[in-house]
Structure 1
Amino acid sequence: MNKYIKYIGTFLVATSLASCGDQFLTLTPKDILTDANFFLTESDAQASLTGIYAILQREETFSNVRDAADIEWAMAGDMYEMDGSANRIELHSLSLPSNNTILRDVYQGAYQGIGRANIVIGRVSAMTNLDPAKQASIVAQAKFLRSLFYYRLVSYWGGVPLVTEELNATSKLDIPRASAAEVWALIESDLKEAAATLPATWTGANVGRATSTAALGYLVKASLWQQKWADAVKYSEQIIATNTHDLLPKFRDVFRESNENNKEILFSTQFRTSVDAEGNNLVKRTAPRGAPSVYTGSAAWSNFVPQQHWVNAFEKDAAGKIKDKRYWDVIIGPGEAHQDIKDFVMPAQVPAGWSRTGFIVTKYWEAPAPTNSGVNTPVLRFAEVLLNYAEALNETGKSAEAMQLVNKIRTRAGLEPKATNLGKDAVLDAIFYERRMEFIWEPVGAFSDLNRRGRFISFIKANRPNFATLEIDKKPWLSTVPILFPIPREAWDKNKSLEQNPHYSF
């Protein structure tokens, strides 16, 4: 679906709201709308909500590019970025200057989503002619989405300015940073309302919207960040009690465009095959550059490829062959055939232009893409729910139960279960190993999860072959727990009330 809604509210300029994927409510296009003739009908309210979902489609928000690839997996060192652009090298080398354009874009994208959410929350709440149940649903979805953007901000930057109301030309824009605790409190409040209001599932054209289980899943994640272990257990058990989600039998099937919004997905960004922003570039960013277009489609860039040392971490059989089905379901290496495009076989000697490491991730590439891809990007899935639940159980003295959950992940991967009588530290190591092998090129399982537990530096020391070149001792910002990113210089240029995080300058 390709609809655009434009309105002039209290933004300083007209804001264009794009629709979200092929599963959302069809909207009638409207030209420039003013305060006087917008937010009058349910259609207006739904259109404004759709505009928040549209922000998720941007590469700087939740499309698994800037977050999952550029930041999470490349900083942890398990993925290699083929272009070597300066802004990416800064992140991968952990230099983290305040003028890094990727961090700037992620920061700005989150606040753009928050701004739209605040408009919907304020305006729709004030509408008097809406069915109360529909009104509550729209506001709850907006609050879920606002919490998603604030979760991104607080996990990367710590305390940030809290903006909870619509801003206009008379608003004070020099807003000081709130504490991280205050940001987490807003996130929890929004998520609790969403969890209490939204259904566990949607049907028909509404499939893909925020659900109560997605809200509960993010309450778990927020609890883990704050080490509220009992809360994380409670919310995890509420998800499981709905019987809404489960692991799919076959790992690859989780990511198929033909199987999107499946039982394992709690929330994903919705896309459809399109030449515009309704589609994404993930097939282009996956498929090896220089490979025949009959296999790759309109373009192939192989931007992000798995590192050899990550491949080496897979468990092997006695003959030295990888036995983990996750590898065979979403990775191809030298001499190996694509899982779906059987005629495509990686050369025995992979050209450096195809992949500097010799490997390609195929999670998001199941067929050639003649235009932009329609594959959805997973944001939260049940495999993470199980590992998050296991982590919380381990911290509350239930390590054996935690290992039972870890073994569910391992069983699907075709691996032998591990002993359930491991010590607490060994259980945590087992959980983080499964995160590493399960979530390559997803927005979890790498930098942020390692960072919130203070494991990032020890992980890269043990696993990044270039660790010595990173000169960690010369980068004091890496000594904080958790590691925080620098507040972007451009944000400070617009808001002089911002204080920089320790060890950085504007």
Structure 2
Amino acid sequence: MKNLFAILSIIAFMIVLSISCKKSWLDPPPENTRIQDDSTFARPENATRFVNACYAQLNDWNEHVFSWIGISSITSDDADKGSFPGDVGADKDQMDNFTYTATSLSPSEVWSGNFVGVGRCNQAIDNLPRFTNVPQALRDRLVAEAKFLRAYYYFNLVRCYGDVPLVDSVYSSDNIEQIVGLYTRSPKSEIYALIIRDLTDAAGALPVKSAYGAADVGRATQGAALGLLAKVQLYQKNWAAAIAASDQVITSGEYSLEPDYALLWRQTTENGRESLFEVQAQNGQEGWATGGYSETQRARATVINGFNGWGFNSPSASLEAAYEPGDVRKAGTMYFAGQTLWDGAIIDIDAANPRYNYKSYSSMTQETNYDGWFTGKNIRILRYGEILLINAEAANEAGQPGKALAALNQVRARARGGVAGVLPDVTVTAQAALRDAIWRERRVELAMEHDRFFDLVRQGRAGTVLRAQGKNFVDGKHEVFPIPLNQIIVSQGRLTQNPGY
């Protein structure tokens, strides 16, 4: 299962190069240029390899590891930078304090990682029709997988930077007009339109989760496409569309809540009943991908086997205080200095930070794929608990409080951990009060899962909430991140900067 996506042998054209390596804006990055060698398409197995390369980018350091943690979590009120002051050239301090600039590491790496992903997906979408020796049904499914992944990469980009270049095909190296498009920002409304089209197409062509065999577990499914579509529609305040897409997931019979919240983050529940989509760890390739995700957030203190983590992305005191008494999700979200964990690992009482991210923790002794430094644990991207909260929020905004409460209270019921008298059902039906209850629930249910900052922005309260936590958030500026300066230089000014940077 874990080695599913480790096939990259055809990809000389997909060497991970950032645009900044180019000497001229007229020299497009290799993942965006058309393949001229027809021999590639004579081998049917290469069709799947095109799409496997799209998945492989999910494991890139620039995609889900250090810089993504900085942009999506350390910026929020759920997390502090962690580690110790000044570590890693102050980049994560800058993210924590909103003092980053157009030359900062995190915005640059996240831009590069996601656009490489977009380029790989374009290669797959454009080239799969050339595999006439592959059954049409398989080609259609593979195109749908690539469209799902392109939508995912673009969703990250549009949330981070707003207007970005809309690159939806591979280009001929001699077509100047097309190459100019690589370095021209399109309105975010056009980016969202592409995302919605891609996810709608994908949902119509992908199989349901249970239809995949063991060898294909972890590939994109109809439920994953519908779930991400529901989330995108929520961001766009298309309430009816968000309800429709999330309803399809809920009524599909393919998903349910994992009874024990803390078990969601163990290897034993990977791709389980609650999972819509995960980044798949790869045997022998954990290193700086999924393993790096865990290691950068592991406690910076001696544990039972004497191995130290980096200690970044430490859950904040504000997050700890957000949990109601008896909420089992707190223990399934953070662990503490002096604590003995489920696998016997002991966190030093003198650890550099008081709290660490439980959801990223991978056991060095009790979980598989241990290679001496890292464990190979999947990164959870989208799960059923979030789908219920999307459904609740959209229903409330659409004037359907009864429907909203039904979905919301399913999530709260699990958080009781089987204990009566704690976390009572929410009963309020006034729209504003129910909205607040749903937003509070979303925070504690999805804490440290890389949504909180983006949630605060879309809810229009990022400045108020983050300044109250001592962060230097400036309204009209920090809702998005700077376009990397090296990209602007390479484009010779065709890429414009976001306001305030």
Partner SS state of residue 39, structure 1 = helix
Q: Are 1:326 and 2:329 counterparts? A: yes
Give the structure 2 partner of residue 53 of structure 1.
55
Letter aligned with residue 391 of structure 1: E
Give the gaps of 5 or more residues in structure 2: 18-34, 365-369, 417-421
Give the structure 2 partner of residue 29 of structure 1.
none
Partner SS state of residue 363, structure 1 = helix
Give the structure 1 partner of residue 317 of structure 2.
308
Give the structure 2 partner of residue 248 of structure 1.
258
Q: Are 1:219 and 2:229 counterparts? A: yes
- Alignment length, in residue pairs? 458
Cα deviation code 1:344-380 (max 9, x no counterpart): 3445xx32xx232x12222232421523221100111
Cα deviation code 1:111-165 (max 9, x no counterpart): 1011111111111123222100001011111111111111111111112111111
Q: 1:278 to 1:315 in 2, by over 3 A?
A: closer
Q: 1:246 to 1:111 in 2, by over 3 A?
A: same
Give the structure 2 partner of residue 238 of structure 1.
248
Give the structure 2 partner of residue 70 of structure 1.
70
Give the structure 2 partner of residue 497 of structure 1.
494
Q: Are 1:183 and 2:187 counterparts? A: no
Letter aligned with residue 177 of structure 1: R
Please tell me whether the aligned partners of residues 91 and 100 of structure 2 are also in contact (alpha carbons under 8 angstroms).
Answer: no
* Inter-partner Cα distance in structure 1 for 2:404 and 2:295: 38
**Shift of the alpha carbon at 1:209?**
0.5
- RMSD over aligned Cα, in angstroms? 2.3
Partner SS state of residue 80, structure 1 = strand
Please tell me whether the aligned partners of residues 56 and 269 of structure 1 are also in contact (alpha carbons under 8 angstroms).
Answer: yes
Q: 1:115 to 1:235 in 2, by over 3 A?
A: same
Equivalent position to 2:118, from 114, 117, 122? 114
* Inter-partner Cα distance in structure 1 for 2:242 and 2:494: 34
Give the gaps of 5 or more residues in structure 1: 16-32, 317-322
Give the structure 2 partner of residue 149 of structure 1.
153
Partner SS state of residue 291, structure 2 = coil
Q: Are 1:88 and 2:92 counterparts? A: yes
* Inter-partner Cα distance in structure 1 for 2:399 and 2:208: 30
Please tell me whether the aligned partners of residues 298 and 360 of structure 2 are also in contact (alpha carbons under 8 angstroms).
Answer: no
Please tell me whether the aligned partners of residues 61 and 106 of structure 1 are also in contact (alpha carbons under 8 angstroms).
Answer: yes
TM-score (norm 1): 0.85
Cα deviation code 1:399-455 (max 9, x no counterpart): 2321222221111111423332332122121112122212232122x1001111212
* Inter-partner Cα distance in structure 2 for 1:102 and 1:428: 32
Please tell me whether the aligned partners of residues 230 and 396 of structure 1 are also in contact (alpha carbons under 8 angstroms).
Answer: yes
Question: Within 5 A, what are the aligned runs for 1:274-423?
Answer: 274=284, 276=287, 279-292=290-303, 294=305, 296=307, 299-316=308-325, 323-338=326-341, 340-342=342-344, 344-347=345-348, 350-351=349-350, 354-356=351-353, 358-368=354-364, 369=370, 370-414=372-416, 415-423=422-430
* Inter-partner Cα distance in structure 2 for 1:93 and 1:331: 22
Q: Are 1:441 and 2:441 counterparts? A: no
Equivalent position to 2:466, from 460, 469, 476? 460
Quote the sequence identity (%): 28
TM-score (norm 2): 0.86
* Inter-partner Cα distance in structure 2 for 1:148 and 1:279: 18
* Segment drifting more, 73-82 vs 167-176: 167-176
Partner SS state of residue 133, structure 2 = coil
Q: 1:108 to 1:193 in 2, by over 3 A?
A: same
Letter aligned with residue 367 of structure 1: S
Cα deviation code 1:448-474 (max 9, x no counterpart): 011112121222244x1x24xx2x46x
